[in-house]
Amino acid sequence: MRDLDKGKEVHSYALQQGIISDIVVATPIVSMYAKCGELKKAKELFLSLQGRDIVAWSAFLSSLVQAGYPREVCSLFREMQHEGLRPDEVTLISVLSACAEVSCHRLGKSMHCYALKADLESNISTVTTLISMYTKFKLFIHAMTLFNKTHCKDVVTWNTLINGFIRFGDPIHAFEMLQRLKLMGIRQDAGTMVSMVSACSLLDNLKLGISFHGQIKKSGFESDIHVKVALMDMYAKCGSLKSAETLFYTTSMKDEVSWNVMITGYLQNRRANEAISTFNRMKFENVRPNLVTFVTILPAVSCLLALREGMAIHSCIIQMGFITSTLIGNGLIDMYAKCGQLSYAEKCFHEMENKDTISWNTMLSGYAMHGQGDSAIALFSLMEEFDAKIDSVSFLSVLSACRHTGLVQEGRSIFESMCEKHHVEPNMEHYACMVDLLGHAGLFDEALGLINKMPAEPNAEVWGALLGACKIYSNLKLGELALNHLLKLEPENPVHHVVLSDIYAQCGRWNEAGRARSNMKDHGLKKCPGRSWVDADHR
DNA sequence: GTAGGGTTAG
């Protein structure tokens, strides 16, 4: 029940009775603390236990996986081995789940090896966990080999594989496995339904989703909360928000996941306002938001530029102890940058204890957004200094900051360092960014030289960047060249004709300007008028 | 005293 207060009462009673040193008493208390998210307390109590045996270890490790601390499990497992204890099936299952969660291939595979040697691989739970792990590693060959050679498969084993295909983005194989499961005469359970409904979301196939909903009603699985949530998610993702709402409002026992799914659904359907009001209602109804709630709600705040709301949510995050999460920290940086408060974004960034590449990239793109090229370059150097992992997004962010600020020399040298120093291959976006930077500085020879040196055919973004620069400098010759490429790549886009017409007009070639416009009409194209305002609800 | 899959976010 995750009832920490009651748990503490039991703990103090055990202390009072002097029975806390009994391992049978202490083990479930450790589990209770871990499952309630009290990692420090659980660890402290566990490490003070005299004569920890394999059951105590397994209980502790399994509670940690369930509470979402897979990294802790992997490192603690090594400590367990130092104590000379041999893992049993339960230990194995917990460690394998942890490996799956954090993509720890080495430990996961060596655990599999151990399972074989210790003859624990015939256990159906162990095999299922192994299959699950391999699908999470995206190693389907291993998952399938295990699946095919296991004879004692039950519906959970099947569901695991089916779900693996869905997570991998392969609904076709998932449906194929469902057919095979039916042919084998295995009874489907609620878990099977969850997978199939998710497959419909993935296919964006509302009709199929509705037909599964019909089957679910008939088979009585609709009362299962997981099934219900999967259905809400499917309806929201397939654009039928009304049906999602109906299901949501007719559910009496709504957990935090149901609320999260609705909040996400509103946001996916561009209704950020309702996402935020649903979040506020969730708090009003005393449902405790979790990590996912905050990860979802922060982009809704950015979308509405609702700074005050964002700050209220920030304080809520601190109060509830989520501020140490890297995921949350990254969301806050992004939210403040997008709401125009770059200094708050910086503060969040610098106060973060565990920064990952995304934290750095988010801060870099914040600087880019605000045209602060120098700050972006300084941060990028810091990134190199701190030995943070620099990826292709980092480069795109810092280069686009250079572009917005017109820092040609700096951009050029960072672009060159990409391959040479960091071994990151530039993609189309990087090239487009550089062409834009060079073009805006009037360096047409260099921009064209770069285009000619590209390993792949330049796309519309690259030529579009060149055309845009041509417009500023009234460079008709290159403008026409860029346009010819654009017309081949995107014949339906009216904007290209308009830009060319503008260049002709700037050169005083009014006849050609008119012809470019009428060319557009001849092709039945019409440009939507631009608008400088944006209705937050429609972004 | 501990135990397999399935819902949300990234």
Neighbours of A18 (CB within 10 A): 8
Judge contact between A67 and A35, C-beta under 8 A: yes
A284-321 pLDDT tens trace: 998 889 889 999 999 999 999 999 999 999 999 999 88
Binned at pLDDT 50, 70 and 90, residue A533 comes out as low
What's A206's DSSP letter?
H
The set of residues, in sequence order, having a beta carbon less than 8 Å from that of A2 and lying 6+ positions away, is: A35, A36
Q: What's the per-residue H, E or C state across A183-196?
A: HCCCCCCHHHHHHH
A187-216 pLDDT tens trace: 999 999 999 999 999 999 999 999 999 999
Q: What is the pLDDT of residue A515?
A: 83
What's A421's DSSP letter?
T
A6-62 pLDDT tens trace: 999 999 999 999 999 999 999 999 999 998 888 889 999 999 999 999 999 999 999
Judge whether residue A537 has pLDDT over 70: no
pLDDT cut 70: percent of chain A above it: 98
- Cβ < 7 Å from strand B, A residues 146-185: 154-157, 159-160, 163, 167
DSSP string for A293-316: HHHHHHHHHHHHT-HHHHHHHHHH
User: How far apart are the C-alpha atoms of A397 and A383, rounded to whole Å?
Assistant: 13
The set of residues, in sequence order, having a beta carbon less than 8 Å from that of A310 and lying 6+ positions away, is: A298, A301, A302, A335, A336, A339
Q: What is the pLDDT of residue A471?
A: 87
Stretch among A75-89, A300-314, A369-383, A472-486 having the lowest mean pLDDT: A472-486
Task: Enter the tokens of residue A38.
Answer: 């009290």
A74-86 pLDDT tens trace: 999 999 999 999 9
CA distances from A156 to A116, A134, A181 (A): 21, 15, 11
Nucleotide in closest CA–C1' contact with A330: B10
Average pLDDT along chain A:
91
Reduced to 3 states (helix: H, G, I; strand: E, B; else coil), residue A41 is helix
Sign of CA dihedral A23, A26, A27, A30: negative
Of A68 and A46, more confident? A46
Q: What is the pLDDT of residue A536?
A: 41
Q: Which residues of A227-252 are buried (b: 16+ CB within 10 A; e: fewer)?
A: bbbbbbbbbbbbebbebbbebbeeee
Torsion angle, alpha carbons of A90, A92, A93, A97, to 10: 140
Binned at pLDDT 50, 70 and 90, residue A539 comes out as very low
- Would the Cβ of A257 be found within 7 angstroms of any atom in strand B? yes
- Would the Cβ of A109 be found within 7 angstroms of any atom in strand B? no
A426-442 pLDDT tens trace: 999 999 999 999 999 99
pTM: 0.86
What's A537's DSSP letter?
G
- Would the Cβ of A261 be found within 7 angstroms of any atom in strand B? yes
The nucleotides of chain B lying under 7 Å from a protein CB are 1-10
Judge whether residue A449 has pLDDT over 90: yes
Distance of CA A521 to the CA centre of its chain: 43
Rounded average pLDDT over A67-77: 91
The length of chain A, given as a count of residues: 539
A158-176 pLDDT tens trace: 999 999 999 999 999 999 9
Judge whether residue A422 has pLDDT over 60: yes
A231-272 pLDDT tens trace: 999 999 999 999 999 999 998 888 889 999 999 999 999 999
Q: What is the pLDDT of residue A254?
A: 87
Neighbours of A205 (CB within 10 A): 16
Judge whether residue A157 has pLDDT over 90: yes
Judge whether residue A496 has pLDDT over 90: no
Neighbours of A268 (CB within 10 A): 15
Judge whether residue A112 has pLDDT over 90: yes
Neighbours of A420 (CB within 10 A): 7
DSSP string for A431-447: HHHHHHHHHHTT-HHHH
Stretch among A136-140, A301-305, A489-493 having the lowest mean pLDDT: A489-493
- Cβ < 7 Å from strand B, A residues 11-50: 23-24, 27-28, 31
Round to a whole number and report the distance in Å from the CA of A181 to the C1' of B3.
25
Rounded average pLDDT over A379-393: 92
Identify, with chain letter, the residue nearest to nucleotide B2 (CA–C1').
A59
Looking at chain A, the number of H-run helices and the number of E-run strands are 31, 0
A116-135 pLDDT tens trace: 999 888 889 999 999 999 99
Nucleotide in closest CA–C1' contact with A97: B4
- Cβ < 7 Å from strand B, A residues 310-339: 327
Tell me chain A's radius of gyration from C-alpha atoms.
Answer: 28
User: How far apart are the C-alpha atoms of A387 and A375, rounded to whole Å?
Assistant: 18
